[in-house]
Amino acid sequence: MALLTKRRAFLALPFPAACANEQPAGPFLPPGPPSYRHLTPLRLKVGTLDIKEAESGTALLVQQPAPLLPSEVMLRMAQDRLSAAGGTGAARFVIQTARLTREVASAVGVFTPASEVFRCIMRCQVEIISAEDEALASAAAEVRREVTGPTRNDADRAALAERVVKLAGQDMNVEFEFQVRRHLRAWLPLVAAPGETLPQPVERETLPRS
């Protein structure tokens, strides 16, 4: 009986060597392009809102495979979150940086696949423009994310590329709202629209160590 108990205990033990080079799965990310329509919009006291698509340049460098472009994520965020509440001026949203790059992290081994690190940088800005085309206020946000994982084939590379862009998009959504509420507070209505509740201001604080 003691021998059987020991055998069962041995079979229940994990085998770390089999997945030593695998990273934790991390937070769940829903399939497809991200959506921000479920969040309270950032309503600016302007008459018009101009959301500009990304242009070309080294700041928008994207290495393939790239199932989801960083510029597409920021464009969707701006379209879903920003709106014009009415006023004399205008707001202009601009994508400044939308980079996705990758490089080898470790070469293939006898028992392990090669691994690569994927990096995503996003930077955007929203400006408040007067009727005379004068810049009155602005808020900018920038985030950086990287993910490292095994790359046996292009399917692995595509999955990692999509994951790092989605994670960067989540970070950008939080950072962008924080910067807008910090620098454009005077341009945010204090009265909620019909059926809408105004959220509490986004704050940052240092969490106590356990």
In this structure, is residue 76 part of a structural domain?
yes
pLDDT value at position 38? 92
Confidence at 199, pLDDT banded by 50, 70, 90: very low
Number of domains, the chain: 1
Q: How many C-beta neighbours within 10 Å does residue 121 have?
A: 18
Q: Is the pLDDT of residue 71 over 60?
A: yes
* Residue spans of alpha helices (H) in the chain: 2-11, 70-81, 154-183
CA dist., res. 197 & res. 200, Å (int): 9
Q: How confident is the model at residue 195 (pLDDT cuts 50, 70, 90)?
A: low
Per-residue model confidence (pLDDT) at position 186 = 94
Residue 126 belongs to some domain of the structure: yes
Give the model's pLDDT for residue 24: 41
What domain range is 69 assigned to?
A: 40-186
Global confidence as pTM: 0.75
Count of CB atoms situated within 10 Å of the CB of 119: 17
Q: Residue 100 domain-assigned?
A: yes
pLDDT for 174? 97
Q: Which two tokens stand for residue 95?
A: 């994508």
The predicted pLDDT at position 191 comes to 53
Work out the pLDDT band at 110, boundaries 50, 70, 90: low
Q: Which of 141, 137, 127, 135 is nearest to 52 (CA)?
A: 127
Question: Per the structure block, which two tokens stand in for 124?
Answer: 């955007």
Q: For residue 90, what is the domain's CATH number?
A: 3.30.160
When the pLDDT of each residue in the chain is averaged and rounded to a whole number, the result is: 81
Q: Which of 80, 97, 76, 81 is nearest to 32 (CA)?
A: 76
Residues above pLDDT 70, as percent of the chain:
75
Distance of CA 21 to the CA centre of its chain: 25
Residue 207: inside a domain: no
Would you say residue 113 lies in a domain?
yes
pLDDT in tens, 128-186: 999 888 999 999 999 999 999 999 899 999 999 999 999 999 999 999 999 999 999 99
Position 105 in a domain: yes
pLDDT tops 50 at residue 203: no
| C-alpha span between 60 and 40 (Å, rounded) | 28
Let me know if residue 102 belongs to a domain: yes
Q: Comparing 10 with 198, which gets the higher pLDDT?
A: 198
Dihedral, CA of residue 13, residue 14, residue 16 and residue 17, to nearest 10: 70
Distance (Å, whole) CA 75 – CA 63: 19
Residue 198: CB partners within 8 Å, gap ≥ 6? Answer: 40, 190, 192
Taking the C-alpha atoms of residue 70 and residue 163, their distance in angstroms, rounded to an integer, is: 11
Position 33 scores a pLDDT of: 80
Q: Could you tell me if residue 16 is inside a domain?
A: no
Beta-strand relationship, 135-150 and 115-129: antiparallel
